[in-house]
Amino acid sequence: MKISYLSTFYPYRGGIAQFNASLYNQLSVNNDVKAYTFTLQYPRLLFPGTTQMVQKGDNALVIDSERVLNTIQPLSYISAARKIKTDKPDILITKFWMPYFAPSLGYVTGKLKNRSRVISILDNVIPHELRYGDLSLIKYFLNRNDAFIVMSETVKRDLLKLKPDAKFVFHPHPLYEHFGDKIQKPEARSRLGLPQDKKIILCYGFIRDYKGIDLAISAVSRLGDDYHLVIAGEVYGSFDKYQSQIDELNTGSKISLFTRYISDDETPLFFSAADACLLPYKSATQSGIVAIAYHFDLPVIATNVGGLSEMIEPYGAGIMIDKPEPSAIAESIKKFFELNIDEFIANIQSYKLKATWKSLADTIINLAGDIKK
């Protein structure tokens, strides 16, 4: 089939670009796929990180994409839609994760909907931090698509809440494959300057309020000195409040901070050094961090919010925390180390056989076949 794929691609960096590149490569095995991306994704004022672009050390999957869409320039919406129309694609794929993209992506999908099968992969429907006007923007986008891929029950519920007649298919988040091999734990810990004799818990990824880093810091203050927390990721906003919390709780010796963007080249070190990946989220849909952890056979300890349990419990790949509270997180961490960690790892290896990019690509092609034009 002829497929146009409009979303975040190289030279942009981050988990969404990685997802899109992996799916693009799989779709390209049996289809004619053209990638389109942004001339401007976020204006600098709205982007809290250091840069949106691939940097040295990022093991980015380079996709030959054409940059056509400026999210704050409506004239580019028109030109992007016209450009993609000239391809006469059988399928147009987009990826949606926040209301900010609804006007630009929604305009393009709406213009293609009458001649192509328009499918959006939904990371989120209702955002973690809902603002005035968001629901109207989301509904606008949803109504300009033919069908959807959802990767968690939470996203499914949110989709049907706003669009009860939505056509969709559920598929688990595939596992990333571009990070390379696992490193021996002693070597990984040595290279990161981490203690060799501690139970190491990893909090990885962009540091945002809803991800519960404050809860993790409070939890580790309740654990013995044989536990060690690693916080690794770029801060969205300021880390000052977390640093003040660390100082007040006197937990500095039990926490290692890597509060910067972690390149793809470095990522294997963190997941190889840890005994478990901790997601102390206050809210969530699904998480790409889980997919990275599974790639490195690392079990996950996560709060039972949003769709996180769907990615963990059915596969026996970790344990769930009843509530996003420090005491519950601390007790779950202790419980984890009392269990058979090798069994978690074996279960993750079985899961890997199911959550593949080929399976997702086949699901999209089959879904497109069910859309009548």
User: For 321-342, what is each residue's pLDDT tens digit?
Assistant: 999 999 999 999 999 999 999 9
Q: What is the model's pTM?
A: 0.74
Q: Is the pLDDT of residue 57 over 60?
A: no
The widest CA-to-CA distance across the chain, in whole angstroms, is 63
Q: Output the 3-class SS for the chain.
A: CEEEEECCCCCECCHHHHHHHHHHHHHCCCCEEEEEEEEECCCHHHCCCCCCECCCCCCCCCCCEEEEEECCCHHHHHHHHHHHHCCCCCEEEEEECCHHHHHHHHHHHHHHCCCCEEEEEECCCCCCCCCCCHHHHHHHHHCCCCEEEECCHHHHHHHHHHCCCCCEEECCCCCCCCCCCCCCHHHHHHHHCCCCCCEEEEEECCECHHHCHHHHHHHHHCCCCCEEEEEECCECCCCHHHHHHHHHHCCHHHEEEECCCCCCCCHHHHHHHCCEEEECCCCCCCCHHHHHHHHCCCCEEEECCCCHHHHHHHHCCEEEECCCCHHHHHHHHHHHHHCCHHHHHHHHHHHCCCCCHHHHHHHHHHHHHCCCC
23 CB contacts (<8 Å, ≥6 apart)?
Answer: 5, 121, 174, 357, 360, 361
**pLDDT greater at residue 101 or residue 291:** 101
Please state, in angstroms and rounded to a whole number, the distance separating the CA atoms of residues 10 and 187.
Answer: 31
Helices 213-221 and 326-338: angle between axes, nearest 10 degrees: 70
Query: Residue 108: how many CB atoms within 10 A of its CB?
Result: 28
**Quick check: 268 and 258 in contact, CB under 8 A?**
no
The whole-number average pLDDT for the span 343-359 is: 90
In this prediction, residue 265 has a pLDDT band, given cuts at 50, 70 and 90, of confident
Indicate the average pLDDT of the chain: 92
Q: Which residues pair with 136 in a beta bridge?
A: none
Please state, in angstroms and rounded to a whole number, the distance separating the CA atoms of residues 210 and 220.
Answer: 18
Q: Is the pLDDT of residue 181 over 80?
A: yes
pLDDT of residue 53: 62
In this prediction, residue 49 has a pLDDT band, given cuts at 50, 70 and 90, of low
In this prediction, residue 51 has a pLDDT band, given cuts at 50, 70 and 90, of low
pLDDT of residue 14: 78
Please state, in angstroms and rounded to a whole number, the distance separating the CA atoms of residues 113 and 118.
Answer: 6
